[in-house]
Amino acid sequence: MAEEACCTCARLLSSISPQYDEKTEKPISQDRRLECCGRLICGNCIQDNPRFATYCPFCQVTSAPSPLPQGLRDPPAYSPPQSPKPQHASPASPNQDLPPSYTSLDSHPPAPEKATSQPFEDVLHFLNPSQDTIQSLSLRYNVPANAIRKTNSLYADNLLSARRTILIPGEFYKGGVSLSPRPLEGEEEELRKAKVRRWMVACKVSEYNLALIYLTQTAYDLDLAISAYKADEKWEKDNPLDQAANNSKGKNKAQQHNQGNKKKRFGIGGGITGQLS
C-alpha cells in the first residue's frame, strides 16, 4: 500500500517529524483528514498556517462560518446568452428608408490647415567623426541625404570628416531639437564660429579679428555683415588715398637734401676722391 503524503507540502507522512509542546511533550497539531475530498494535511502545515485547520485549499470550502462563497464555480461563458426577441419588434420592410450618410450631415467642411508663416530654422548638429555619416544623419533625422548635402554645400561625402558641425534643414526636420550631445563651448558659440568662417570665405578675408569686428557690429547677422564689408570695399576703391604718392615724394626730397649736404661738405665730387681730383 502506498504511503500517504501531505497535500500541501507534498512530503510523506512517515518522513515528517511532528512538533511537540515543551511543557506537555505532546504534538502541537494533529494531522487533519479533509472531509470534502479525503486528502490529508500534516500537523506541521497546520501549525505554519492555522487556516488549514478549517479550510480545504483544493475544494475551496471551509468548515467554519465565512462570508465568502463556498465551493468552486464554473467560469462564465465566452459568448453572452442571446436575449429573447421583444414581441413589439417587427421585421424591417424592404422599402424602409435607409439612414442618411455621414457626409450629408456634415454641413461644415473641415477648415483648411493654416500655413505656417515662419519657416522652421535649421538645427545645428555636432558631428562625431567616428559615427556620423551622411546616411546615418539622414536616417536619424528622417531627412533626405541630398537635402543635407545641399544645405551644407557638400559636394562629396568625405568632406564631412573635416567639419565639426553640420546644419539639418528645417524644411524637412520639424523637431527643432538637435539629437547630438552638446559640446563644452555650447551651441551659441559654435554658431558664432560657423558664421565667422562663412564670412571669411564669402569676403575672401583671412583676418579673424576683422571678421569679428563686422559680425559684432551687426549682431552676428551674416548677410548684413557681408554687405557692410562689400560696401566699405567699394568705397575704398571709389576714393583711393594719395598716401603712397606722398610717401614717394617725401623720400625723393630727403635723398636730394642728403646729397646736397654731402657736396657742400666734401666738395664738388661729394667725397675724398673729389677733393683729390
Summarised one tens digit per residue, pLDDT across range 122-151 is 888 888 888 889 999 999 899 999 999 999
- State the pLDDT at residue 51: 83
pTM: 0.29
* Beta strands at 61-62 and 55-56: parallel, antiparallel or unpaired: antiparallel
Least confident window among 147-161, 203-217, 231-245: 231-245
CB neighbour list of residue 207: distance below 8 Å, 6 or more residues apart: none
pLDDT in tens, 151-209: 998 888 888 888 888 899 888 888 778 887 766 456 677 788 888 989 999 998 888 88
Q: 3-state class of 77 per DSSP?
A: coil
* Phi and psi, residue 235, nearest 5°: -65, -40
For residue 229, is pLDDT > 90? yes
- Give me 259's grid cell: 646729397
Other CB atoms within a 10 A radius of the CB of residue 160 amount to 18
Cα angle 87-93-99, degrees, rounded to a multiple of 5:
105
Cα 262 from Cα 244, distance rounded (Å): 28
Q: Name the residue among 105, 191, 112, 179 with its Cα closest to residue 142.
A: 179
- State the pLDDT at residue 254: 55
